[in-house]
C-alpha cells in the first residue's frame, strides 16, 4: 500500500495535467497498471504464478501495458501515457523512475537467467525507447525517445540514437550527435552509378 501511495504522489510531481487524486485513480492507465502489477507480483512471490500471469494479461488487455509479475519495481514510479510499455520478467526498476509510452525493457533472446535490464533510481526513459539486455542503466540517466540501448549506461548520462550513444554525462557533452539519417536506397544508386561508369570506361578502352 505504501508503494501505491508513493506511485500516486509521483504522478503529481511529473504530470502537471493531474488535477486530483480521484482523477488519477479513475483515469490514469499507467497508475492502474502499477496497481495491478503489485497485486500480480504478490501472487507471483507467493507461488500463485498462473494466477499472477492471468492478472498481468488482464492488465495488458485493459491498459495496453504489459508488466511481467516477476519483474521488480520500486516506489514512486510513473508510467506516463503508457500504451505499448513492456517490462520483462527479470527487469528491475528502481525508485522514482519515469517511463513514457512505447518503452520496452526487454531481452535480446541470447541470455539465460537475468535477461532484462536493471534501471536505477531517478532514470527517465522517453517514448519508444528500447532497453535490451541484462545490463544496468545508472542513477538519474536519461534515455532519449526512440533510442535502442544495448549496453551499460553510467549514472547521469544522456543516451540517444540507434544504437544508443552517450552524448552527455551530467552537463558535460562527450559526443557530437550526427543528425544525418542513413539512406540505403541512395547509397545503392551511387554504387550502381559508379559500377556503370567503370563498365563504360572499360568498353571505351576496348573500342580504342
Which tens digit of pLDDT belongs to each residue from 173-200?
Answer: 765 555 455 567 878 898 999 999 888 8
For residues 51 and 168, the model is more confident at 51
Mean pLDDT (whole number) for 144-170: 87
The model's pTM is 0.76
d(CA 152, CA 136): 5
Q: What residue spans define the domains of the chain?
A: 2-179
pLDDT recorded at residue 44: 94
For 72, how many CA atoms within 13 A lie in the half-sphere containing its CB? 11
Mean pLDDT (whole number) for 125-154: 91
Instruction: Give, in order, the Cα–Cα distances in Å from 143 to each of 50, 99, 185.
Output: 33, 10, 29
Burial of 81 (0-12, 13-18, 19+ CB in 10 A): middle
pLDDT recorded at residue 126: 92
Which tens digit of pLDDT belongs to each residue from 88-119?
Answer: 999 999 999 999 999 999 988 766 788 999 99
Mean pLDDT (whole number) for 198-205: 84
Which tens digit of pLDDT belongs to each residue from 5-52?
Answer: 888 888 888 878 888 888 888 988 889 999 999 999 999 999 999 999
Q: Reduced to 3 states, what is the DSSP secondary structure of residue 104?
A: strand
d(CA 127, CA 85): 9
CATH number for the domain whose boundaries are 2-179: 2.160.10.10
Q: Reduced to 3 states, what is the DSSP secondary structure of residue 133?
A: coil
Q: Is the pLDDT of residue 84 over 80?
A: yes
pLDDT recorded at residue 7: 82
pLDDT recorded at residue 168: 78
Question: Kind and range of the H or E element at 205?
Answer: helix 184-207
Amino acid at each position: 500500500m505504501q508503494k501505491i501511495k508513493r506511485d500516486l504522489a509521483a504522478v503529481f510531481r511529473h504530470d502537471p495535467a493531474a488535477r486530483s487524486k480521484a482523477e488519477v485513480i479513475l483515469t490514469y492507465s499507467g497508475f492502474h497498471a502499477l496497481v495491478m502489477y503489485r497485486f500480480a507480483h504478490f501472487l507471483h512471490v507467493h507461488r500463485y504464478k498462473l494466477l499472477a500471469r492471468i492478472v498481468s494479461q488482464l492488465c495488458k488487455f485493459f491498459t495496453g501495458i504489459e508488466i511481467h509479475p516477476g519483474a521488480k519495481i520500486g516506489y514512486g514510479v510513473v508510467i506516463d501515457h503508457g500504451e505499448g510499455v513492456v517490462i520483462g520478467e527479470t527487469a528491475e526498476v528502481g525508485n522514482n523512475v519515469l517511463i513514457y509510452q512505447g518503452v520496452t525493457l526487454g531481452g535480446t533472446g541470447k541470455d539465460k537467467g537475468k535477461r532484462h535490464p536493471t534501471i536505477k533510481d531517478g532514470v527517465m526513459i522517453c517514448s519508444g525507447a528500447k532497453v535490451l539486455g541484462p545490463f544496468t542503466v545508472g542513477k538519474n540517466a536519461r534515455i532519449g525517445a526512440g533510442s535502442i540501448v544495448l549496453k551499460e549506461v553510467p549514472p547521469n548520462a544522456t543516451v540517444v540514437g540507434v544504437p544508443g550513444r552517450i552524448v552527455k554525462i551530467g552537463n558535460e557533452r562527450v559526443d557530437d550527435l550526427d543528425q544525418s539519417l542513413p539512406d540505403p536506397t541512395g547509397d545503392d544508386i551511387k554504387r550502381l552509378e559508379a559500377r556503370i561508369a567503370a563498365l563504360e570506361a572499360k568498353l571505351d578502352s576496348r573500342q580504342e
